[in-house]
Chain A
Amino acid sequence: MTAPTEETQAPDLLYSEAEEDLRAAVRALLADRSDAPAVLARVESGTPYDPRLWKALAAGIGAAGLLVPEELGGQGASHREAAVVLEELGRAVTPAPYLTGAVVATQTLLALGTPDGPVAALLAELAAGRRVAVLAVPFAAPAPDAAQPAGVVAGRVEGTVTGVADAATADVLLVPTTDGLYAVETGAEGVAVEPLVPLDLTRPLATVTLAGAAGTRLADGASAVAAVRRGLLAGAGLLASEQLGIAEWCLTETVRYTRERHQFNRPVGSFQALKHRMAQLWLEVVSARAAARNAADALATGSPDTLLAVAVAQAYCSGVAVHAAEECVQLHGGIGMTWEHPAHLYLKRAKADSIAYGTAGRHRGTIAELMELPAP
């Protein structure tokens, strides 16, 4: 047996100057408009999304169109740049339909082939940040096989999909059906978006019920399955960068706090028992960065290693984000358990993210297949 142990091409795991500029722009915007107290106030209001923030991010900075070619109204950039945006959104635990809309839905549409007609028109709207589309599949779905395809009766879409992320803020639902991929307006007759109570308050989930809803058929069954698979693959790969951002914030904030917090007449961060835990986390964050950059670069370059790179990044980074958030709560002590301190927002995001687009265990299963390391 020959497992693919040879890398086909060396990945670029660094950040370019343009990527660092993009990061600085996104970070400045989020610091200004979406700091921790603002996010907490928003999630308490029940409408976590700030439309003005989305406009500034999506249209102002142009982040919504990074994956979309210039001839279709986008920035003609790549997954590497979108990954940098996601690092910053993770670091600020920003509520924004970026991963679901600007990555998964956009990638799904792009994967339908040379887009024209309604696909091209929708992509242009998404790239410009004028509208938001999300894929109507459960956020936990690792692959389209696990989705619940809706039915189509006489051209009308019928079905129920649970646990759809960001459906409440979307203008358009991309619905995989037994008859291909349909675009359904959320405002259309026969469409009900019922909010659920999510663990992660910064990313709302909803049950979508389609009862004879009118839609536009974008692709046939086979193309739809391939496109949805590609969209979810990009989502899983770039989720690793969001997880990296979460972990980075948790470590940085924990280091800052334990340097200042005094007990026993010493900064608590001078105790070796705590230092070793933070040093270990640092090592995990450094490793997560390599894994996340590798996945983003593979998606951007269309590397034959992409499936493996994405599975490795998800299998690794999910655990790092959860570990960092859990350590953040613990090493903050009592204040870390309060509603007032933002640590819980990161813990909830990290835990929900560890299920999104497939758990680490699902991705390890993929690695077992790809690397020919089968179960007994």
Chain B
Amino acid sequence: MTVPDAAGLRRRTQDLLAAHPPATTGRTDFLKARFDAGLAWVHYPAGLGGLDAPRSLQPVVDAELAAAGAPDNDPRRIGIGLGMAAPTILGVGTDEQKQRFLRPLWVGEEVWCQLFSEPGAGSDLAALGTRAVRDGEDWVIDGQKVWTSSAHLARWAILIARTDPDLPKHRGISYFICDMTDPGVEVRPLRQITGEAEFNEVFLTGVRIPDSRRLGPVGEGWKVAQTTLMNERVSIGGSRIPREGGMIGPVARTWRERPELRTHDLHQRLLTLWVEAEVARLTGTRLRQQLVAGQPGPEGSGMKLAFARLNQEISGLEVELLGDEGMLYDDWTMRRPELVDFTGRDAGYRYLRSKGNSIEGGTSEVLLNIVAERVLGLPAEPRNDKDVAWKDLAR
């Protein structure tokens, strides 16, 4: 089959719309038909929702579909499946795994979550202790995972677990697909400092996973996970914002609307942060221009660092600006939000939630190490954990 160009994709999209008019087709049926037409992610292989076309042509399809009022697959709801599970399955999965999992994943019939972090393995993820022990055709999983978003909604999970404790930590890990409906899987909400629970703790007790749901070779799980994590960092730092579009927006509006709150000290701090927010926005713009021009730079690794600090400082200033109102909180009710919305709530929520920005998806301290070593080429610190069997590491 020849790879379609933009005109070819446009024609295929019109054919899809003609055969399955969005107005009279159910949402899931339309999405399935779109997947089967190869218009889900055009850069994926034919038969797996794509057409082997360049990834850059996806917007051609999306624009045609949006113009026709076609439903989308609500990508924010299934972000872990799309951003992390799918590329991993495509990269190292068997043909059976690709056929079984990718279609319901993309359509959104099956939500995915990620079972990586553990109470004892955060920044040092490779030290994880959840065990996977071979038993006949199955692996038996025992351990505890944490900071799992969507675990209470998920049908499947990507899981990394230790298959050989006698090897050094990076080499004894394997990568699995875990069925979240297995009786040994227990999901508990993890309440945060904001009062709500975006995430979960997941307890795995004697969970049986058939060997056919292993992703990649035994012992190669760390290598496979690296690609997955790279996708996560890029997606957290890369979105486009207009001037005053981030957290500085609500503070600037309050400043303009409520002169009685203004002090000289707050004014200086507001302006300093306003400048930093505007420069961070320009830096993001420049990064995107580099990507479009085909000159990707290492700047992406810095954006998450910049936004984490800015969000924290700006929301801290906002709480202070509000004075006695800053001592109040909108709602401590334990809730389970599906999506995080920084602007939908009060300053106190923003202040507390943004504390997680420098922890989730790689702490700022670890990211600074990554910039220092991979971008600047500074030498690594001496390490005493690389050639030691995992079972002999201090815990």
Contacts and interface: CB of A to CB of B under 8 A. Distances in A.
Contacts of B275: 312, 315-316, 364, 367
A375 interface: yes
Contacts of B274: 367, 371, 373
A294 B371 CA distance: 24
Q: Point out which of A258, A267, A291, A374 has the most chain B C-beta atoms below 10 A from its C-beta.
A: A291
A255 B256 contact: no
Given A5-B243, A270-B382, A290-B283, A373 B271 contact: yes
A41 interface: no
B384 interface: no
Nearest to A1: B256
Interface size class of A (residues with CB under 8 A): 35 or more
Contacts of B262: 374-376
A156 B340 CA distance: 70
Interface in B268-288: 268, 270-272, 274-276, 278-280, 282-283, 285-286
A365 B275 CA distance: 11
Interface string A241-262: 0000000000000010011000
B264 interface: yes
Chain B residues touching A, majority SS: helix
A130 interface: no
A24 interface: no
B133 interface: no
B263 interface: yes
B263 A259 contact: no
Contacts of B278: 312
A330 interface: no
A287 B372 CA distance: 16
A188 interface: no
B376 A371 contact: no
A284 B349 CA distance: 28
A283 B306 contact: yes
A368 interface: yes
Contacts of A12: 289
Given A368-B267, A373-B274, 14 more contacts: A3-B244, A255-B378, A266-B382, A267-B379, A272-B369, A276-B368, A278-B378, A279-B369, A282-B375, A287-B279, A293-B286, A312-B279, A365-B271, A373-B252
Interface of A: 1, 3, 5-7, 10-14, 255, 258-259, 266-267, 269-272, 275-276, 278-280, 282-283, 286-291, 293-294, 312, 315-316, 361, 364-365, 367-368, 371-376
